[in-house]
Amino acid sequence: MVSAIHGLNITELLDEIVKKIKDLGIKVEPEDKEYFADKNYRNDDDNFEDFEESAGGNNIESEEDGISGIAILGQPNSGKSTLFNKILDEDRVIVDDVEGTTRDSIDSTVTVNGKHYRFIDTAGLKKNKLKEQDLEFYSKIRTYRSIEKSQICLLLIDSTKQITNQDQKIVELCLQKGCSVCIIFNKTDAVSGEKLESLINYLNTMLAYIDYLPFLTMSALKDKNTDELFRMIDYLLEERHKKITENKLMQLFKDIDNERAVYIKGKKFKIKFIRQIKTSPPGFLVFSNMEVKKKNNIIKFIENSIRDEFGFTGTPLFFKFKH
């Protein structure tokens, strides 16, 4: 039995499905198509309500053996397989000029300077309708599953093309699933400095509400600046595993309270107690003098205050409030 909705046997059977789906005439059922049409992957309320489960709870699998999962994501032909081959230093993934030639997700563990990394190469996310061919549907499932197995997502942007809303959605999905994100502008050897600057500025504007993501520029094909990749990965891992003491957090908000009071509906908001209760990704428990509702501006205020003082570059922060 296979269920795309519940993930039952999808990973194990996907390879065979991909090979035989056309010959056997297997069709994607309507209820399966709804899998990506609903809010399963874009539900901020779940991140707020189900703190213990959603704050990275689904991204633990590949850390059980002490090795973090790293997903390589991006639109078709953005250079994912080329970068993957550079990382592995071998041609393990077939690369072709035809979009969608890399269909499978391949997990490979590499060791650099005594550190182990598990890279999850994925089939591209196409900007398409769910009613398109079944093969692309299952490739999309594979990509979402890869994100769920990862702690870090590397989003490759083809510098010779336009940035799309799909790139924005990939970033949002990764963060909502508790992954740290680095945006990599690839193929920089093929564009002018002015064009690259324009792309970066455009993406900064598009993601203005997510201003804590790091960027890298490189050419995987020309092996330009690829040596920065592992330094960035190590930095992101350090940031997502960062633990701030209760005393430092309490002192931060005590100072903020003394400098500029925050009011909600005419009543002064005050943090009675705050503690970081998890890492990878970081999660905080906050006791306040009043109820903090979902998507309240005070949540962003607290998050920005913590980031300004302690960093947490590239990683989402999760909060649970009590009063």
Summarize pLDDT for 96-135 with one digit per residue, the tens: 444 444 445 567 888 888 888 998 865 444 444 444 555 5
Domain identity same for 252 and 193: no
Domain identity same for 235 and 278: no
Domain identity same for 200 and 304: no
Round the average pLDDT of the chain to a whole number and report it. Answer: 77
Domain that holds residue 154: 10-240
Higher pLDDT, 82 or 58: 82
Q: Which of 2-16, 153-167, 251-265 has the lowest mean pLDDT?
A: 2-16
**Which pLDDT value is given to residue 92?**
46
Q: Are 147 and 179 in contact (CB under 8 A)?
A: yes
Domain identity same for 128 and 46: yes
Higher pLDDT, 57 or 82: 82
Instruction: Report pLDDT digits (tens) over 260-318.
Output: 888 888 888 999 999 999 999 999 999 999 888 876 789 999 999 999 999 999 999 99
Parallel/antiparallel/unpaired status of strands 106-112 and 115-121 = antiparallel
In a domain, 100, yes or no: yes
Higher pLDDT, 65 or 247: 247
Query: 194 pLDDT exceeds 60?
Result: yes
Question: What token pair was written down for 149?
Answer: 């197995």
- Give the CA-trace dihedral at 73, 78, 84, 89, to 10 degrees: -170
In a domain, 5, yes or no: no
CATH number, residue 265: 3.30.300.20
**Which pLDDT value is given to residue 63?**
59
Q: Which residue has the tokens 């703190």?
A: 51
Q: Are 90 and 108 in contact (CB under 8 A)?
A: no
In a domain, 1, yes or no: no
- Give the CA-trace dihedral at 43, 48, 49, 53, to 10 degrees: 80
What contacts 194, CB < 8 A, 6 or more positions away?
A: none
Secondary structure, 3-state, the chain: CCECCCCECHHHHHHHHHHHHHHHCCCCCHHHHCCCCCCCCCCHHHHHHCHHHHCCCCCCHHHCCCCCEEEEEECCCCCHHHHHHHHHCCCCCCCCCCCCCCCCCEEEEEEECCEEEEEEECCCCCCCCCCCCHHHHHHHHHHHHHHHCCCEEEEEEECCCCCCHHHHHHHHHHHHCCCEEEEEEECHHHCCHHHHHHHHHHHHHHCCCCCCCCEEECECCCCECCCHHHHHHHHHHHHHCCCCCHHHHHHHHHHHHHHCCEEECCEEECEEEEEEEECCCCEEEEEECCCCCCCCHHHHHHHHHHHHHHCCCCCCCEEEEEC
Q: Which of 65-79, 80-94, 203-217 has the lowest mean pLDDT?
A: 80-94
Domain identity same for 67 and 215: yes
Share above pLDDT 70 across residues of the chain, in percent, rounded to a whole number: 68
In a domain, 35, yes or no: yes
**Which pLDDT value is given to residue 52?**
47
Number of structural domains, the chain?
A: 2
Domain identity same for 220 and 251: no
Domain identity same for 93 and 227: yes
Q: How far is CA 159 from the centre of its chain?
A: 20
- Give the CA-trace dihedral at 16, 20, 25, 29, to 10 degrees: 20
Domain identity same for 189 and 268: no
Segment of 8-22, 30-44, 88-102, 229-243 carrying the highest mean pLDDT: 229-243
Average pLDDT over every residue of 230-253: 97
**Residue 162's pLDDT band (cuts 50, 70, 90):** confident
CA–CA separation, 128 and 8 (whole Å):
24
**Which pLDDT value is given to residue 101?**
46
Share above pLDDT 90 across residues of the chain, in percent, rounded to a whole number: 42
**Which pLDDT value is given to residue 13?**
56
**Which pLDDT value is given to residue 27?**
52
**What amino acid occupies position 315?**
T
**Residue 34's pLDDT band (cuts 50, 70, 90):** very low
End-to-end Cα, the chain, rounded Å: 46
What contacts 254, CB < 8 A, 6 or more positions away?
A: none
**What amino acid occupies position 58?**
N
Q: Among residues 214, 240, 266, which one ends one of the domains?
A: 240
CATH number, residue 108: 3.40.50.300
**Which pLDDT value is given to residue 302?**
95
Query: 9 pLDDT exceeds 60?
Result: no
Average pLDDT over every residue of 159-174: 90
Higher pLDDT, 175 or 84: 175
**Which pLDDT value is given to residue 97?**
44
Higher pLDDT, 117 or 76: 117
Average pLDDT over every residue of 78-83: 87
